[in-house]
Structure 1
Amino acid sequence: MSPDDRHLYFVRGKRQLIRLELATLKEEVAYTVPAGWVGYGTWVANSACTKIVGIEIAAEDWFALDTWQKFNEMFHKQPRCRLFSVDLATGKQQLILEQKGWLGHPQYRPFDDHTVAYCHEGPHDLIDARMWFIDEDGRNRRCGKAHEAGESCTHEFWVPDGSAMVYVSYRHDSPQRYICSLDPVTLANRVLTEMPPCSHLMSNHDGTLIVGDGCGQASGDSSASNAMLTGDPYLHLFDLSAGPGRGTTRRIARHDSSWGVYKGDRQVTHPHPSFTPDGKQV
Structure 2
Amino acid sequence: MSKGRVYEDPVFEYEDSCSGRKVIRLTDYLGHSNHFYFTDPCWFNNDRSFVFTSQRENEGNMFRYDLDNHKITQMTDLKSKGRPGGCVSEVNNAIYYFVGRQLIELKIDSLEERVVSEVGTPYSPGGRANPTADGKYVCSIVAEPFPDTGKKSISYSYSSFVQNFERKPHSQIFKVNLENGDWDVIHEDHRSMGHINTSPTQPEIMTFCHEGPWHWIDQRIWGLNIHTKEAWKIREQQGDYSIGHEYWFADGERIGYHGRPRDNNGEHVFGHIKWNNEDHVEVRFPFHSTHFQSFDHTMMVGDGTNCFASDAKPYIQLFRWDGEQYVGPKILSYHRSTFNDQYAHCHPRFTPDGKYVLYSTDLTSYANMYLVEVGEFDTLPDLTEDYVAPHQRR
Q: TM-score, normalised by structure 2?
A: 0.60
Contact 2:315 2:332 in 1 (8 A): yes
Is residue 259 from structure 1 mapped to residue 346 from structure 2 by the alignment?
Answer: no
Contact 2:134 2:203 in 1 (8 A): no
More contact order relative to length (CA 8 Å, sep ≥ 6): 2
Unaligned runs of 5+ in 2: 1-87, 358-394
How far 1:202 sits from its partner (Å)?
1.6
Unaligned runs of 5+ in 1: 219-227, 262-266
| Structure 2 residue corresponding to 1:191, chosen from 274, 277, 282 | 282
How far 1:9 sits from its partner (Å)?
2.3
**Distance 1:59-1:70 versus aligned 2 partners, 3 A rule:** closer
Name the SS for the 1:42 alignment partner.
coil
| Structure 1 residue corresponding to 2:255, chosen from 124, 141, 165 | 165
**Distance 1:118-1:92 versus aligned 2 partners, 3 A rule:** same
Letter paired with 2:275:
P
Letter paired with 2:290:
S
| Structure 2 residue corresponding to 1:156, chosen from 241, 246, 250 | 246
| Structure 2 residue corresponding to 1:250, chosen from 318, 321, 330 | 330
| Structure 1 residue corresponding to 2:318, chosen from 210, 214, 237 | 237
| Structure 2 residue corresponding to 1:203, chosen from 279, 294, 303 | 294
| Structure 2 residue corresponding to 1:269, chosen from 340, 344, 348 | 344
How far 1:187 sits from its partner (Å)?
4.8
Query: How many Å separate the matches in 2 of 1:245 and 1:23?
Result: 44
- Single out whichever of 120-129 and 176-185 deviates more from structure 2: 176-185
Aligned pairs for 1:1-282 (under 5 A) are 1-3=88-90, 6-12=93-99, 15-34=101-120, 36-59=122-145, 66-171=156-261, 172-174=263-265, 176-187=267-278, 189-192=280-283, 194=285, 196-204=287-295, 206-216=296-306, 230-240=311-321, 242-261=322-341, 267-282=342-357
**Distance 1:230-1:10 versus aligned 2 partners, 3 A rule:** farther
What is the CA deviation profile of residues 90-121 of structure 1, one whole-angstrom value per residue up to 9, with x for unaligned ones?
A: 22212211111111112222322232211101
How far 1:12 sits from its partner (Å)?
3.5
Name the SS for the 1:54 alignment partner.
strand
- Single out whichever of 52-61 and 152-161 deviates more from structure 2: 52-61
Query: How many Å separate the matches in 1 of 2:319 and 2:215?
Result: 26
Letter paired with 1:17:
L
Contact 2:132 2:204 in 1 (8 A): no
Name the SS for the 2:344 alignment partner.
coil
Query: How many Å separate the matches in 2 of 1:229 and 1:126?
Result: 23
Letter paired with 2:187:
L
What is the CA deviation profile of residues 136-191 of structure 1, one whole-angstrom value per residue up to 9, with x for unaligned ones?
A: 23444221134355421110001011231110111233374322112222355322
Contact 1:154 1:169 in 2 (8 A): yes
Name the SS for the 2:290 alignment partner.
strand
Rg: which structure is higher?
2
Query: How many Å separate the matches in 2 of 1:61 and 1:122?
Result: 19
Query: How many Å separate the matches in 2 of 1:217 and 1:147?
Result: 31
Query: How many Å separate the matches in 1 of 2:317 and 2:279?
Result: 26
Contact 2:96 2:129 in 1 (8 A): no
How far 1:131 sits from its partner (Å)?
0.6
- Single out whichever of 46-55 and 24-33 deviates more from structure 2: 24-33
Letter paired with 1:21:
K
Query: How many Å separate the matches in 1 of 2:91 and 2:227?
Result: 28
Letter paired with 2:330:
R
Query: How many Å separate the matches in 2 of 1:62 and 1:31?
Result: 28
Q: TM-score, normalised by structure 1?
A: 0.81
- Single out whichever of 184-193 and 272-281 deviates more from structure 2: 184-193
How far 1:247 sits from its partner (Å)?
4.2
Query: How many Å separate the matches in 2 of 1:46 and 1:186?
Result: 21
CA RMSD of aligned residues (A): 2.9
How far 1:61 sits from its partner (Å)?
6.0
**Distance 1:210-1:11 versus aligned 2 partners, 3 A rule:** farther
Letter paired with 2:347:
H
- Single out whichever of 72-81 and 154-163 deviates more from structure 2: 154-163
What is the CA deviation profile of residues 27-70 of structure 1, one whole-angstrom value per residue up to 9, with x for unaligned ones?
A: 22233342631223333222233322211113466999634241
Contact 2:303 2:347 in 1 (8 A): yes
How far 1:87 sits from its partner (Å)?
1.9
Query: How many Å separate the matches in 1 of 2:99 and 2:92?
Result: 20
- Single out whichever of 78-87 and 21-30 deviates more from structure 2: 21-30
**Distance 1:237-1:95 versus aligned 2 partners, 3 A rule:** same
